[in-house]
Amino acid sequence: MIPIKLAKQAHFSGRAFFSELAARLPENGGRPDYEDLQRVADIYPARITKNFLELIQKVDDPIYRQFVPSVEELAECGEADPLAEQACSPVEGILHRYPDRVVLLASSGCPVRCRFCLRKRLWAKEGDGAPADLEPALGYIKNTPAIKEVILSGGDPLMMENDRLEDLLARLATISHVRVLRIHTRVPAAQPERVSQNLLETLGRHKPIFVNIHVNHPLELSAPAAKAIGLMVDAGLVLGSQTVLLKGVNDNSKTLEALFADLYTLRVRPYYLHHLDRVKGVAHFIVPIKKGLELMEGLRQRIGGMTLPAFVLDLPGGWGKVRLDSNSMKYLGQGKWQVKDFAGQTHEYQE
């Protein structure tokens, strides 16, 4: 058994979240209704790191919008599990959607609570979202030779204590058919002090590890974040990025161009720009697919291919990710699209 134990977290949650936020916001910059915020946080808890809190300048700026609760989250539209993750889980802790790779929900801990999170359904109780015992998941990987890549997600795998992470990586290293490990993390930008020499040595001792960092706005690439990213690259880790297209955060070409250029300068290859999943409580963040396509076309004319991520949609129902372009989709009108999945099957997607 590998027990889940979280690293010490430099974050604010509960009442501390709101008191720190109130101290941060300027008197003349508008004030949120803290009773409304608490009403939302009772359902979807709030958490932010010191690093991100210090980036907030005013109500509803790009950082505030990502991490501070909003009454718009109480809207009933959307689904708790739009990607059918539970249906794609053969054993606890594993998501097996593609033949050659699986997602391992290695940790329920996360440095922040992104208000648009795919797994908001797991926020009701602290600690939910990852198995207390990873043995069934590791057994499944070991007994499924088709699996060539394991993607560590959660939560955030880098919030595990180093010895627990070391134990998990060492166990995966003994499975001969697993050739590559991938880690999806918010840590380098959200909690850069977590990228310690000890952590880098832990990651460096194992199979080829690719790290996809989650970054949505250029402001998130603060000086501490840039330093943490540089340390990871210098340690031999291959870094890519994932960005979610979010209304009021990054839904304009100037912001996206700056973000992707800054990432590339830091030796991070922009990998995915995600169309937002239809999760319950996130509709106010959704950017229409047509606008996303227009933004991508404009970027394609101004930045190089190495700097341009793929614009993707994760099809509801567990059908996997689709690159949104003229080869995979057709507009049917009234917000309805015909989309072809990775296996060549056709689906209708209603915005």
The torsion angles phi and psi of 285, rounded to 5 degrees, stand at -95, -10
Active site residue 314: yes
**Residue 150 in contact with residue 101, Cβ under 8 Å?**
yes
d(CA 227, CA 15): 31
Determine which one of 115, 119, 182, 194 is catalytic.
119
Active site residue 194: no
- Print burial letters for 267-288: b (CB count within 10 Å at least 16), e (below 16): ebbbbbbbbbbbbbbbbbbbbe
Active site residue 125: no
Active site residue 227: no
Determine which one of 81, 156, 262, 314 is catalytic.
314
Determine which one of 64, 114, 115, 140 is catalytic.
114
Active site residue 81: no
Determine which one of 98, 227, 247, 323 is catalytic.
98
Active site residue 77: no
Active site residue 113: no
Active site residue 277: yes
Determine which one of 115, 117, 182, 262 is catalytic.
117
d(CA 76, CA 299): 34
Determine which one of 81, 156, 262, 277 is catalytic.
277
Closest of 200, 255, 175, 265 to residue 226, by C-alpha: 265
Burial of residue 292 (CB within 10 Å: 0-12, 13-18, 19+) is buried
Determine which one of 50, 101, 171, 323 is catalytic.
101
Active site residue 251: no
Determine which one of 47, 164, 278, 321 is catalytic.
321
Determine which one of 97, 115, 186, 278 is catalytic.
97
Active site residue 97: yes
Determine which one of 110, 140, 156, 164 is catalytic.
110
Please give the positions annotated as active site: 97-98, 101, 110, 114, 117, 119, 277, 314, 321
